[in-house]
Amino acid sequence: MSDEQAAAPTNNFLRSIIDEDLKSGKHSGVVTRFPPEPNGYLHIGHAKAICINFGLARDFGGRCHLRFDDTNPAKEEQEYIDSIKESVRWLGFDWGQHLYYASDNFEQLYQWALYLIEQGKAYVEDLSAEEIRAYRGTLTEAGTESPYRNRTVAENLELFGRMRSGEFPDGSHVLRAKIDMAAPNINLRDPVIYRILHAPHPHVGDAWKIYPMYDFAHGQTDALEGITHSICTLEFESHKPLYEWFLDNLPVPARPRQYEFARLNLTYTVMSKRKLQELVQLGTVSGWDDPRLPTLEGLRRRGYTPASIRTFCEQIGVGRSDSWIDVSVLEECVRTDLNDSAPRAMAVLRPIKLVIDNYPADMTEELQAANHPQKPEMGSRTIGFSKEIWIDGDDFMEVPRKGFHRLMVGGEVKLRFGYIVTCTGVIKDEQGTVLELRGQYDPASREGIHTADGRKVKGVIHWVSAAHAVAAEVRLFDRLFADPNPDRGGIDYKQFLNPNSVETLTDCKLEATLADSDVETRYQFERTGYFRQDPKDSQPGELVFNRVVTLRDVWARK
């Protein structure tokens, strides 16, 4: 990411900590890491973590590692690994040579587990998962020691070796750290650090039959990589004493420090990978890249730009107090970005034909249209004009309401970049549905908004020449949930799904310049919103456009 792309850094408590660490000589450089578990696709909450970790490393002249904390092969897939790498790159960050996997350290982690056993600080447990939970106690009551807690070192070494060799079935044994069953922090009550899993691993294959728990692998992997500042969300704050206990009790090569920040809570969505996966598996959405999802793949497919997401992450800041960010803040970031960068085009989403009776049937014209009203350097384009044009159904009313300044029978409007036209009649079917409009144009009005006799026209509408129009499907995406907090506890979040989260229009008419448009270009369809071609479904001759965002926040008026 170039300096121009990077948002200007703002001060926050993490920057203050790093600045002090460098000034005091505690660290000579900064090494951070972004450590996703490859058990799903990244979402907008991960974007915040990516921007924090890569941004801090960039701004302090350090480096950020991309590390997969791949300790649970039962839920991890190569598809997720590939998607995560692609999303981080798309967001504008690069890990260079520093791509790591926790699984690359499995042998070292196993040796450290043996070290704990030899020091009398770990033991093989035979209790079931349910029994372990029961023995652990509660927040107000101390736990009970396992009957297997005082096995000899020799017995534990033998059993753990047999666990590694695959002699035992899943769930029959685990390895636990021997800490304190009366500790106020339940995470310190002899936590499980290894379990048996007869499952192939996406990175190391079938080499292992036992896998370390996340809490055991994370801190030691930080140490092996020389991480100076291990930054995570507040839900891991209660795990910090365990993180530090392992570092204190193992011969690790470095001593990282964990710091926590508040995770992103975004309205009108869910941020749990488990729930996002459930929506995918139930078919509620079309996949992890459904444009209604908060996944980075979904936002990218919809048309969000990396710059808009980075700006959003910069604007919401970094703190230690949980708070909710309204999704309109994210929408406004992409709206602002696209208002500045998106070329304009005309598209009629709900077409009604207007036949201009006094325009020659055998004549067409080429009109010039600016690609951006505030940026002449973006140039102009040529659009066709003919006797029959398409206008949007919302721009015509037979019985106009007060303040309606668009087309009506006997009324005049200015066609954007074109002529002033007057509606002279309406053709309907037997049910009263409007089939076609008839009108007249003023040949002298091409350059302005006045008629030949000087009358000024108030309304300006977009249009597309029927002789030049390109057909397209347009998908109007809205928020996936109708409630601002669908994930509140005790209620099924799926009951808040918005039944109108997508509207598919199949008979849209676009100006001809869009026929060969680049799939990565976002456009402002004038007076309608911001759109981009769907990168999966759109193809030459069968165009599909997604609405990225409306021109203004329509939910603010609901």
- 273 catalytically annotated: yes
- 353 catalytically annotated: no
Catalytic one of 15, 162, 164, 263: 263
Considering only CA atoms, which of 230, 101, 113 is closest in space to residue 161?
113
510 strand-pairing partners: 347, 470
How far lies 515's CA from each of 23, 365, 520, 541, 542, in Å? 57, 19, 14, 8, 9
73 strand-pairing partners: none
- Sequential DSSP letters for 8-69: PP---HHHHHHHHHHHHTS-SS-EEEE---SSS--BHHHHHHHHHHHHHHHHTT-EEEEEE-
Catalytic one of 48, 176, 189, 273: 273
Look at the block and give the residue holding tokens 């897939």: 77
Q: What is the longest distance spanned by two Cα atoms in the chain?
A: 104
324, 314 contact by CB (below 8 A):
no
Pairwise CA distance, residues 51 & 298, whole Å: 18
What element of type H or E holds 274? helix 273-281
| 213 Cβ contact partners less than 8 Å away, ≥ 6 residues apart | 71, 191, 192, 193, 194, 195
Helices (H), 92-152: 106-118, 129-136
247, 223 contact by CB (below 8 A):
yes
Q: Residue 246 in 3-state DSSP?
A: helix
Q: Residue 444 in 3-state DSSP?
A: helix
- 377 catalytically annotated: no
Q: Which amino acid is at 84?
A: I
The dihedral sign for the CA sequence 172, 176, 181, 187: negative
260 strand-pairing partners: 232
Q: Which residues are catalytic?
A: 37, 263, 273
